[in-house]
Homo-oligomer: A and B are copies of this chain.
Amino acid sequence: MSEKDDIYYMNIALQQAVIAEQNGEVPVGAALLLADGSLHVAHNAPISLSDASAHAEMRAIRAACQATGNYRLPGSTLYVTLEPCCMCAGAIVHARIERIVFAASDTKTGAVTSLYQLLNDKRLNHQVEISSGVLAAECSRLLSDFFAKRRKKKAS
């Protein structure tokens, strides 16, 4: 996958993050490209869906599993606008995703490079190729604007 391709798919994930933001959810989006070339996108939606597990990555993985009738997604690449948390990183390992590309780092709950490094833990039965920083500024800005607005709203 070329850098141009990575930017293309991350832009699709970013569009999903914008939808999350419009729904009042923390703006995170994901695009999951399967080995057969099909694409499954999702936005963060725990509040809207009343589902603690409804992060963008989880929803994209579940949609792709449903579409393919397979609980594993070998050869797939997951694009996500924010570094995945422990839950999502765990699901990425279970789904045997081959590669992950994330935009912004999450120093508070990130489980790929920040708090934990779950995707290259040799004790688990699958490791994932990791790229980061693609469209980081754009994805990060969306998040910081969201939290700034929320703080302002709470303070008023």
Contacts and interface: CB of A to CB of B under 8 A. Distances in A.
Interface of A: 46-47, 49-54, 58, 61-62, 65-66, 68-73, 85-91, 93-96, 108-109, 111, 115-116, 118, 121, 123-125
Given A52-B62, A90-B111, 19 more contacts: A46-B94, A50-B68, A51-B62, A51-B66, A51-B71, A52-B73, A52-B95, A53-B61, A53-B65, A54-B71, A85-B94, A86-B90, A86-B116, A87-B90, A88-B90, A89-B90, A90-B90, A109-B124, A115-B121
A93 B116 CA distance: 15
A108 B93 CA distance: 14
A71 B87 contact: no
A52 B66 contact: no
Contacts of A109: 124-125
Contact of A52 (B51, B65, B108, B124): B65
B86 A52 contact: no
B47 A53 contact: no
SS of A interface (majority): loop
A53 B62 contact: yes
Which of A52, A54, A66 has the largest count of B CB atoms less than 10 A from its CB?
A: A52
A51 B71 CA distance: 5
A89 B52 CA distance: 12
Given A85-B90, A118-B86, A53 B50 contact: no
